[in-house]
């Protein structure tokens, strides 16, 4: 972790202030960028990814000490290409004013909605996907016609430095600017009077970011996390569920805001689930220590936190099933083996905190309604995963639970669906981006009423109670008479 002196922090703060002022001035000079300008900026981001995809994969691997280039391609680079392509093909339609219904009282007139860029968007980038979670909201902000400032994570310094370099080579400061630095710099960043602020991180820090933004009445999009459950219906093939959950949990060693946090499994199938899950992990990662396919924990502090969660569970009576096929000593690395936790109780940290690592509690249930009650009694998660071939039952579950997003018979893939919104609810987040909803998040939906040359308002103008007004009132009373409620 880099230590920043007070002078460098002051200099960086001054630079942030200056860049924000520059971007706001540039936005006033170009408050509604044309389609061609937005497409050109999206193409620049696309080309940055094409030119530097290997560089980004290597920088991310350095930040984690070990992460596969294939995993970075799958989880970060390819979804960004898809997101850029989505906006590039739909921007013309999204930018077009939307016609709306004209009420009788306003006729003759036209009513429409214009989506106007909000201005300058601030983006606070987390460490777990330091490329995707930097550029994904940026793509939405640029598509909507905004300018943007990014603050990268101090825990991913190699990626942050590379991103700062390539952005500065392709964009002027008054378009897009990237800032690195530590916690103090991030704190100052969130206090800036942006026109919109995006933060991805923990619920605890999200509360502080929202307080900072409130000082400037800055609208926020908070992408947080929470404990995302996976629920397996008793009729679903348990081996198939275990394999699909294992794939999702293995991505980035569970360091994902939408990673399955715990599994609600039919009691009589727990042993079979654990056996298949463990074998799937062993097949995917036969070794851990020198295997770049198995992602390391981002810092020693994070690894220590996860180890303490396991110690706490074991001391309070839980059974730990550690999946370490080669029985390697990982003490000198930042690798942590996947561990299943059986017999977890509510007084254990493993059920109280978002895990954000390769630890998965398996909780037995006997009745699906009780399992849903367990989920609904807890803070609303960022994601919910349900395994059931029965579509009617799945639809019923969708309507009886609240979560930011849902995958049926899969985990985490909803994040890669560009045409649906991504975002949490309550403790798992506020607001959303991706797709059309992302365009709207970074836009001001401005209602516009336009009157023509014909003006009929004078026909009902005061003095009130004139014949025309009484006629209009009688007609409206007939339209809006009482309706049946039984």
Can you read off the two tokens belonging to residue 341? 């936790």
Task: Quickly list H helices, 171-237.
Answer: 183-190, 203-215
CA pair distance 369, 182, nearest whole angstrom: 46
3-class DSSP state of 23? helix
461: DSSP letter? P
CA pair distance 123, 197, nearest whole angstrom: 6
φ, ψ of residue 234 in degrees (nearest 5): -65, -20
Nearest to 433, CA basis, from 234, 89, 138, 189: 138
CA quadruple 331, 335, 341, 346: dihedral sign: positive
Task: Quickly list H helices, 65-173.
Answer: 69-72, 78-95, 132-143, 157-170
Residues 409, 395 contacting (CB under 8 angstroms):
no
Following CA atoms 475, 476, 480, 481 in sequence, which dihedral angle do they give, to the nearest 10 degrees?
Answer: -50
Whether residue 442 is preceded by a cis peptide bond, meaning omega within 30 degrees of 0, is: no
Question: Quick count: other Cβ atoms within 10 Å of Cβ 36?
Answer: 8
CA distances (Å), origin 31, targets 60, 141, 146, 147 = 35, 14, 8, 10
CA distances (Å), origin 438, targets 49, 119, 403 = 21, 15, 18
Can you read off the two tokens belonging to residue 273? 């689930």
Q: Which residues are annotated as catalytic?
A: 223, 257
Q: Is 153 exposed, middle or buried (0-12, 13-18, 19+ CB in 10 A)?
A: buried
Nearest to 252, CA basis, from 117, 339, 357, 348: 357
3-class DSSP state of 484? coil
CA pair distance 60, 72, nearest whole angstrom: 8
């Amino acid at each position: 972790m880099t230590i920043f002196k007070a002078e460098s922090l002051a200099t960086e703060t001054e630079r942030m202030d200056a860049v924000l002022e520059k971007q706001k001035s540039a936005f006033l000079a170009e408050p509604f960028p044309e389609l061609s300008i937005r497409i050109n900026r999206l193409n620049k981001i696309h080309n940055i990814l094409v030119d530097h995809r290997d560089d980004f994969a290597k920088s991310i691997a350095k930040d984690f000490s070990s992460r596969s280039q294939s995993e970075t391609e799958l989880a970060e680079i390819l979804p960004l290409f898809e997101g850029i392509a989505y906006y590039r093909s739909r921007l013309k339609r999204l930018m077009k004013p939307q016609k709306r219904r004209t009420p009788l009282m306003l006729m003759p007139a036209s009513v429409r909605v214009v989506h106007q860029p909000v201005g300058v968007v601030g983006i606070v980038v987390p460490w777990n996907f330091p490329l995707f979670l930097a550029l994904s909201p940026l793509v939405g902000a640029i598509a909507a016609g905004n300018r943007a400032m990014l603050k990268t994570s101090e825990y991913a310094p190699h990626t942050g430095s590379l991103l700062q370099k390539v952005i500065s080579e392709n964009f002027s400061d008054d378009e897009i600017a990237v800032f690195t630095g530590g916690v103090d710099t991030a704190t100052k960043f969130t206090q800036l009077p942006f026109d919109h602020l995006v933060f991805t991180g923990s619920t605890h820090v999200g509360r502080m970011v929202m307080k900072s933004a409130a000082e400037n009445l800055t609208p926020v999009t908070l992408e947080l996390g929470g404990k995302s459950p996976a629920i397996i219906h008793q009729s679903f093939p348990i081996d198939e569920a275990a394999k699909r959950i294992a794939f999702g949990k293995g991505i980035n060693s569970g360091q994902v805001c939408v990673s399955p946090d715990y599994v609600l499994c039919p009691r009589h199938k727990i042993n079979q689930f654990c056996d298949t899950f463990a074998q799937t992990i062993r097949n995917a990662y036969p070794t851990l220590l020198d295997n770049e396919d198995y992602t390391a924990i981002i810092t020693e502090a994070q690894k220590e936190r996860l180890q303490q969660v396991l110690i706490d569970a074991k001391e309070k009576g839980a059974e730990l099933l550690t999946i370490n096929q080669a029985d390697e000593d990982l003490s000198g690395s930042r690798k942590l083996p996947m561990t299943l936790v059986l017999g977890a109780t509510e007084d254990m940290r493993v059920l109280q905190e978002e895990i954000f690592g390769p630890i998965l509690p398996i909780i037995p249930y006997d009745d699906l309604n009780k399992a849903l009650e367990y989920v609904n009694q807890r803070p609303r998660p960022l994601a919910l995963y349900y395994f059931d071939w029965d579509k009617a039952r799945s639809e019923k579950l969708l309507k009886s639970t609240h979560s930011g997003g849902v995958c049926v018979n899969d985990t985490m893939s909803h994040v890669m669906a560009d045409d649906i919104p991504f975002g949490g609810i309550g403790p798992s987040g506020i607001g959303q981006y991706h797709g059309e909803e992302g365009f709207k998040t970074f836009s001001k939906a401005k209602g516009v009423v336009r009157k023509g040359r014909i003006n009929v308002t004078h026909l009902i103008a005061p003095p009130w109670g004139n014949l025309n007004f009484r006629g209009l009132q009688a007609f409206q009373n007939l339209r809006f008479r009482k309706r049946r409620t039984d």
